[in-house]
Amino acid sequence: MNASTPRLAETEGRESWPLLLGLAAREVFSLMLGTQLAAAPESFPEEGLDVTSMVGLAGRVCGVLTLRCSAASAALIASKMLGVDAGQDGAEVWDAVGEVSNMIAGNFKNKITGMGDGCMLSVPTVITGADYSLRALVDSDKVEIVQLFEGSALIVSLEVHS
């Protein structure tokens, strides 16, 4: 698998975005972690997804990409990225999850013609804990995919301001 999948024109609409977002996430996990994401069941428990990484998009597309997973999954992400056994300290785990979300956002926008140059990414922000609400101050559309990472749910959302 590589990250050079043919890109779709931005003008073709957003119906392809869930597909491209899933592809972007799968490529990042495959290339950087050496693991394959699997399709998630239709219903899954959202409890315990208490690590959230956010990357802002600004320019031709404005919004935020979020990656949510459990603390155990976050530690496993860091472990697989670094090629060492689990047990990294908190800062390294947050750094790894932030970098994964950054790469998913970048890989996604690079698959859409015209978005790469016209859309900048922020540096990632990682939140721990699940007791929070995220509210956009303008109308927004949301694309969300759910994948299984080593058997645990992982949610990638792209909230785009309309």
DSSP-based three-state secondary structure for 103: helix
Q: Report the C-alpha gap between 119 and 88 in whole angstroms.
A: 33
Confirm or reject binding of residue 21 to another protein (CB under 8 A).
Answer: no
Q: Which residues within the stretch 117-146 sit at the binding site for another protein (CB under 8 A)?
A: 117, 120-121, 123
Torsion angle, CA of 121/52/144/49, rounded to 10 degrees? 170
**Which of 51, 52, 99, 157 touches another protein by CB under 8 A?**
99
Least Å from the CB of residue 69 to another protein: 16
Structure tokens given for 110: 């690079």
Among 57, 76, 78, 146, binds another protein (CB under 8 A): 78
* Interface region with another protein, contact rule CB under 8 A, candidates 10-18, 38-46, 112-120, 140-148: 112-120
Angle between the N-to-C axes of helices 90-110 and 71-82, in degrees from 0 to 180, rounded to the nearest 10: 80
Which of 145, 135, 144, 138 is CA-nearest to residue 161?
A: 138
Residue 22 engages another protein in binding (rule: CB under 8 A): no
- Is 86 one of the binding residues for another protein (CB under 8 A)? no
Q: How big is the site for another protein, counted in residues (CB under 8 A)?
A: 28
User: 64, 54 in Cβ contact below 8 A?
Assistant: yes
Distance, CA of 21 to CA of 32 (rounded, Å): 16
CB 27 to another protein: min, Å? 6
Contacting residues toward another protein, per CB under 8 A: 3, 27-28, 31-32, 78, 81-83, 91-92, 95-96, 98-99, 102-103, 105-107, 109-110, 115-117, 120-121, 123
